[in-house]
Structure 1
Amino acid sequence: MFGFHYRMERKAIGLVIAIIVVASIGGLVEIAPLFTIHQTVESAPDMRLYTPLELAGRNIYIREGCYACHSQMIRTLRDEVDRYGPYSLAVESKYDHPMLWGSKRTGPDLARIGEKYSDQWHVAHLVNPRDVVPPSVMPAYDWLLSTELRADDLGLHLKAQRAVGVPYTDEMIANASLDAFGQSNPDSAQAKGVTERYGKATTVRAFDGRPSQLTEMDAMVAYLQILGRLTDAAHRPIADAGAKQ
């Protein structure tokens, strides 16, 4: 083996050709499946966009390293489906940049955590996890409840997402800060604009229980409550999903 390698190193052209061949094999394995991706990835015409508040919550989720202990991908194994719900589909992460599938579970998978628990439960859990789950080893994130959410740059976050393929409109980008406040304050004048831009299914309520103040807790709970609910593709019968491709 080494003798062959040494002889190859003495022949520059042969070595270059060998490198190209080996690199091409790896590239072919990674690139070729992309040519048929439209046939393998489910379609989801009902796919919703993250609202500015939900996207802000996702950014906080990443900032605090939540993905290090919680995955967002339910495998096709029977015990996972029984515990967490329908297995994850590729299309459900269509607008996730970066994706947060994960591979380690110190805590449970969160792919379908949306609306499984109340907002009050999530707030209590984030303030002190052991108040609702006594054996929990999760750290407390109580400062989220008292930290005002920075909303003036949310339009830039939406604009960055649009650059990688998320179909945010100019109107969504221009009203991002107002929509974040409106989604967490259902009695405000801005609340109506949220449902007009993001759909009637958008959840508009005071996530942290205090509608007059926009906090990082609002954003985090709004994000957790939308997980697994951007599309119902995973809950449709297989035959129906295939027919809509």
Structure 2
Amino acid sequence: MFGFHYRLERKAIGLVVGIILVASIGGIVEIAPLFTIHQTVEDAPDMRVYTPLEIAGRNIYMREGCYACHSQMIRTLRDEVERYGPYSLAVESKYDHPMLWGSKRTGPDLARVGGKYSDEWQVAHLVDPRSVVPESIMPAYDWLSRNRLKTDNLGEDLKALRTVGVPYSEDMIANASSDAHGQAAPDSKEAESVVTRYGKETSVRPFDGKPEELTEMDALVAYLQILGRLTDAAKKPVATAER
């Protein structure tokens, strides 16, 4: 074996051909599954898109680098499933651009944090992490409660996501700004329209506890509260989820 390798090293063309052959094998292994992606990704008829407010929250989540310390992918290991819940399915990230699976956990995985804690807990945790988790090393994000959320460009965000396959309608794009305000103000005239466009399962409430003003805290909490809840595919029997 080593003798063949030594002889191959003396022939430039042969070595180049060998390198190309070996690299091609790795490339095929990575690329081939993409040709059957529609057969390997689970079906989720109940899958819904992120609302404009949740998209705004996701943007803030990325802006503040939350993904660097929190992953959003539960592996099929027993200890992870017991701690975090059902392991993550590919379809649950269907509308995530970019993916935020992560590879480091300074803090816990957030794939199924939606609904695990109340809005009040989430706000308190972001304002002063150690007030609810004494051992936390997370920095405080209290200014999010003071920063008014900019919604003027949300329509452009939805339009950009539509170009990569997220099924936002023209109506959703045109009303993105008003829908963001309506989702955080249940008594407003825009609130009913949000439910009409995004479904009856859409959460409409003042996420930061202050319905009179739309803040970045509203958006981030709205995003955290929807994680793991865009579809119920992971809660179904394996045979059904993997059709």
* TM band (smaller chain): over 0.9
Equivalence for 2:86: 86
Where 2:186 maps in the other structure, the secondary structure is coil
Instruction: Give the 5 Å matches for 1:1-245.
Output: 1=5, 4-8=8-12, 11=13, 17-18=17-18, 20-242=20-242, 245=243
Shift, 1:30, TM fit: 1.3
Q: What is the CA–CA distance in structure 1 between the aligned matches of 2:77 and 2:25, rounded to whole Å?
A: 31
Q: What is the CA–CA distance in structure 2 between the aligned matches of 1:3 and 1:23, rounded to whole Å?
A: 20
Letter paired with 2:119: D
Segment of structure 1 superposing worse, 22-31 or 114-123: 22-31
Q: What is the CA–CA distance in structure 2 between the aligned matches of 1:68 and 1:2, rounded to whole Å?
A: 44
Instruction: State the Cα deviation string for residues 205-229 of structure 1 (Å, max 9, x = none).
Output: 0000111101000000000000000
Q: What is the CA–CA distance in structure 1 between the aligned matches of 2:111 and 2:170, rounded to whole Å?
A: 29
Shift, 1:7, TM fit: 2.1
Q: What is the CA–CA distance in structure 2 between the aligned matches of 1:204 and 1:6, rounded to whole Å?
A: 70
Q: What is the CA–CA distance in structure 2 between the aligned matches of 1:161 and 1:102, rounded to whole Å?
A: 21
Where 2:25 maps in the other structure, the secondary structure is helix
Q: What is the CA–CA distance in structure 1 between the aligned matches of 2:170 and 2:112, rounded to whole Å?
A: 30
Shift, 1:3, TM fit: 5.4
Shift, 1:17, TM fit: 4.4
Letter paired with 1:4: L
Q: 1:224 to 1:25 in 2, by over 3 A?
A: same
Q: What is the CA–CA distance in structure 1 between the aligned matches of 2:43 and 2:171, rounded to whole Å?
A: 26
Shift, 1:21, TM fit: 2.9
User: Percent same amino acid at aligned positions?
Assistant: 74
Shift, 1:31, TM fit: 1.2
Segment of structure 1 superposing worse, 114-123 or 18-27: 18-27
**Kept after mapping to 1: 8 A contact 2:8/2:15:** no
* TM-score under structure 1 length normalisation: 0.93
Q: What is the CA–CA distance in structure 2 between the aligned matches of 1:195 and 1:38, rounded to whole Å?
A: 30
Q: Provide structure 1 residue ranges, at least 5 long, that are not aligned to the other structure.
A: none
* TM-score under structure 2 length normalisation: 0.94
Q: What is the CA–CA distance in structure 1 between the aligned matches of 2:82 and 2:16, rounded to whole Å?
A: 52
Letter paired with 1:88: S
Shift, 1:6, TM fit: 4.0
Instruction: State the Cα deviation string for residues 119-147 of structure 1 (Å, max 9, x = none).
Output: 01000000000011111100000000000
Where 1:226 maps in the other structure, the secondary structure is coil
Q: What is the CA–CA distance in structure 2 between the aligned matches of 1:2 and 1:210, rounded to whole Å?
A: 73
Q: What is the CA–CA distance in structure 2 between the aligned matches of 1:58 and 1:75, rounded to whole Å?
A: 22
User: Aligned-pair RMSD on alpha carbons?
Assistant: 1.4
Q: Provide structure 2 residue ranges, at least 5 long, that are not aligned to the other structure.
A: none
Letter paired with 2:86: P
**Kept after mapping to 1: 8 A contact 2:144/2:215:** yes
Instruction: State the Cα deviation string for residues 48-99 of structure 1 (Å, max 9, x = none).
Output: 1000000110010011010111110111111111111101001000000111
Shift, 1:240, TM fit: 2.6
Q: What is the CA–CA distance in structure 2 between the aligned matches of 1:99 and 1:15, rounded to whole Å?
A: 38
